[in-house]
Amino acid sequence: MAKGSQQPQVTEVKTPPSRIFKEYTPLSVLAAYGEANRVQQQRSDYEAARRDQATAGLLGQPYTGTFNFEGTKIDPTRSPAPFDITFAFDPERNPYYAAEVESGKQRLENQKERRQERKMEREMDDIFGMPRESYLAAMNRVANQGRSS
């Protein structure tokens, strides 16, 4: 390069470290999603049966029935029940939620026990209103005074 020319400024580009997100969906929520999907499938099957019955009636053909993916005949005259959201929070119907409730109770019990253990340790370390080390040092001084006289 020529004497007076400047070199271009070099800047280092650092890419940020990648972030990996872990997402955990509790099993009780997944069970509720599954129940909602099951009810939605029933509603879809019902609508398909109603449509097939109406089409057969318009074409003047006998309605032979509509079957779901399990092979069960769908009754087009009976509407399925709507999804009950309380399924997600009912331990009797959602076993995964019941297990989560039990693990939560156990976790709370463990926390309570740890707090009590820490409290007992603090009380054990505190003898006559002073820390254990200070109490033992004072006892040693008293014991040593008695020997020297």
Measure CA 10 to chain center.
48
Tokens in use for 139? 């006892």
Check whether 22 has a pLDDT greater than 70.
Answer: no
Check whether 147 has a pLDDT greater than 70.
Answer: no
Q: What is the pTM of this model?
A: 0.57
pLDDT in tens, 54-113: 999 999 999 888 898 888 899 888 888 888 888 888 999 999 999 999 999 999 999 999
Q: In 3D, which of 90, 100, 103, 98 has the Cα closest to residue 35? A: 90
